[in-house]
Amino acid sequence: MHIVVTGAAGFIGANLVKALNGRGEYNIIAVDHLSRADKFRNLVDCDIADYLDRDDFLSEIEAGTFDDDIGAIFHQGACSDTMEEDGRYMMKNNYRYSVMLLEHCQNNDIPLIYASSAAVYGAGKTFVEDRANEAPLNIYGYSKFMFDQVVRRVLPEQTAPIVGLRYFNVYGPREQHKGRMASVAWHFYQQYKKDGKIRLFGGSDGYAPGEQRRDFISVEDVVKVNLHFLDHPRHSGIFNLGTGRAEPFNAMAAATLNALARLDGKPEQTLAQWAAQGAVEYIPFPEALVGKYQSFTQADIRCLREAGYDAPMLDVKNGVTRYVEELVKQNVAELVKQNMAAGY
């Protein structure tokens, strides 16, 4: 039996493939759309049975090629660009594709674990998995919201497990291909590496500079939760996936700077001390994001806990420290390769 991971060359998908390998699972069908060819690097250290383009996979599904040969589908593939304005593309890619996979899974008794998003809550301040709290601000959030509604209609008469995970702000390894859509942690690291400073938004929505708050969750925890539901197929539903803590962007910046300081054998400092040295800079809040920006998110994870997931989640300080250490390690390895290629 195969395990299918859609979006397998992407951020969360590739981390899932690697974690499945770590459990001894190699009979994996990786599904993706490599219009960004550099995403292949995310799978170089992974072992898979086959790779299929996302459209080819859907055609094979419809043709019955994989009947009785799929044990579970992790559906991570989606366009996650919150600034995308092509609604037809977004709905076809994120919504319609997902509906077709859901129908196949229900018709063939295949567990489906899929990526939803905290974007369904829009500017709301109550992050509980309930229709009354959902009002997306952009077409990306709407595409996720619409599929969640389909799932809710199917759940009462489901024939196979269905789990939707509403990801909050995920950060961690294998996101370098995402560019401007990469996590705050990745951008902060790159900014400091390039310019010796980290830039944060100034005050907005009543928040002081850098004090806008998000529920930042490490991809390590996201992967663990996905695998939890693979191991516990009796649980179905839509679940928030965050830490349950809202932490300010200032904390993310301080964690990044202190992680780098520790690696250099230097002492930690407060955010104020870093700012006094010019390592933190506040920039005006972008006009393009006014009315489209979540200044506060905090997952209510009671449903997740009730479904049996009781492991602690990494906080920003510890999660970002681990991530920065991994980024530095990757940079060192890349420098070694470049020097070897240059004959040094």
Contact criterion met (CB below 8 Å) for 251 and 196 = no
Q: For the chain, how long is the longest CA-to-CA vector?
A: 64
d(CA 74, CA 72): 7
* Alpha helices for the chain (secondary structure H): 11-22, 54-63, 87-90, 97-107, 139-154, 184-195, 219-231, 249-263, 271-276, 302-306, 316-341
Which is catalytic among the residues 18, 178, 197, 224? Answer: 178
Catalytic residue list contains 309 = no
Which is catalytic among the residues 114, 140, 192, 309? Answer: 140
Q: What is the DSSP string of 228-291?
A: HHHH-TT--EEEEES-S--EEHHHHHHHHHHHHHHHTT-----HHHHHHTTSEEEEPPPGGGTT
Catalytic residue list contains 178 = yes
**Which residues are known to be catalytic?**
140, 178
